[in-house]
Amino acid sequence: MIIDFIINIAYLIGALAFVWGLRLLSSPDTARKGNIVAGVGMVIAIVAAIGQPIEGASNNYLWIIGAIVIGAIVGLVSAKKVQMTAMPQMVSIFNGLGGACAVVLAYAELVPYYSGIKELDMAGLIIILLALLIGGISFTGSMLAFAKLQGLVWDSTITLPRHDIVNMVLLLITLGMGGYLVASGVEGGLLMGSVFMVLALVYGFSFVAPIGGADMPVVISLLNSFTGLSAAVTGLIYGSQFMLVGGILVGASGTILTVLMCEAMNRSLINVLVGGFGGGGASAKGADGEQVAKEVTLNDAAIQLFYSQSAIIVPGYGLAVAQAQKVCKEVDELLEKNGVEVRYAIHPVAGRMPGHMNVLLAEADVPYPKLLDLEEANDALKNTDMVVIVGANDVVNPAAEDDPGSPIYGMPVLKVWEAKNVIVLKRSMRPGYAGIENPLFFHEKTRMLFGDAKDTLSNLASEIKSL
């Protein structure tokens, strides 16, 4: 009785740590502390689970400890070696592995059921099948998201004609198989149960296949919620309240974030999943119908920034690729020494995952109060002397405002063209991740500064120092 009481208290402490950690994760200023708190809660729960007495269980502590050590080493090495540009890929892999765990655990419960070793009522069988379905979608969907972000596969090579219909048919077949297994009970057989698992895995791959471009942050967030739901369902299988609470927290937060990101793009989740844009149509009209991009020299850019009263920096994926966040902070500090007010405009879907730019700037110790969200930034841009866009593209595209033929028409964007002057740092004139031409580059207020973002910002800092 005493051991059970202590273990339940440990689970409660772990669950509270999860809730507290999630609360701290809501702000970049406290996100690191939130990760630590949630990690401590997980350690407490794992120790409690290992110490929980299970009647008839064999002594398998060596297997458990061995798996924990291997997992800890892999996680530690990955966290230390992964570049900021590859953070979305790592998040996708971790999401997928969470789903894979749910699939393995659910299938491990399915085998003894069909072998006659274990009995299940209808509710128990439905829970196991749900774990297989949600976990399978999360696993293969996340792995494909990783492959897309890593540039290992391209949408054109894995997308079929009318892929939305293919997905709908595949989902109906999978759900139909699940209904058959529930109706037939143990007579369904392990083979049919295995077919259901394979269908879930195939559907997860097919589900993500047609989604690309600027929709990937939404997909990553959605798959994260699936992983949480699969963990919650697995918690129901084993009667673990801690797994249930943890899974619900992850699933709920992922779902809320997905909804918020869809609102930021002014699109419904169904529209993202079925009619995602990326590599689609182009909007090629410049501000005056002329496709002439004007360049600016480093010296001129430095002078304009140095003698302005206010400046807003718009970070994008190009900043992450170049690992230029610390050099960007150096330019920020040099300008502020001369009395220039410098702030950062953060679009909710900038980068490749939710909060990508916030994490990037936090790594460079940019104070959180300097980060402006979409609405704050658009209000501030109207009275800003200089805007410096570093690697952002689709989130500053005026076609979202004035080109009904553009795939991103209606999507809220940063209205950088309302500032007095705009400088765009880019490697080339190539379109962004969504594959859409950006008329901003040809706007009368815009000047292009070509080159690697880190080198360009470093040279810009040198020019500012010389003034």
Residue 209 neighbours by CB under 8 Å, 6+ apart? 144, 155, 158, 159, 160, 163
Sign of CA dihedral 290, 293, 299, 301: positive
Phi then psi dihedrals of residue 327, to 5 deg = -70, -35
Buried b (16+ CB within 10 A) or exposed e, 296-333: beeeebbebbbebebbbbbbbbbbbbbebbebbbbbbe
Please tell me the chain's helix, strand, coil percentages from 3-state DSSP, rounded to the nearest 5.
65, 5, 30
Longest dimension (CA), the chain: 82
Residue 420 CA to residue 394 CA, distance in Å, equals: 20
357-362 CB contacts, 8 Å cutoff, 24+ apart:
357/315, 357/316, 357/319, 358/28, 359/28, 359/31, 359/84, 359/87, 360/84, 360/315, 360/319, 360/320, 360/325, 361/28, 361/315, 361/325, 361/329, 362/28, 362/31
Q: Measure the CA–CA gap between 306 and 49, rounded to whole angstroms.
A: 59
Pick the closest to residue 131 from 102, 170, 98 (CA basis): 102
Tell me the C-alpha distance between 358 and 316, whole Å. 11
Tokens linked to 321:
């690729």
Residue type, 29: D
Whether the Cβ atoms of residue 34 and residue 355 lie closer than 8 Å to each other: no
394 is catalytic: yes
390 bridge partner residues: 315, 425
Q: Check 394, 402, 403, 455 and give the catalytic one.
A: 394
> How far is Cα 367 from Cα 29, in angstroms, rounded to an integer?
8
User: Is there a contact between 413 and 396 (Cβ–Cβ < 8 Å)?
Assistant: yes
What residues are labeled active site? Answer: 394
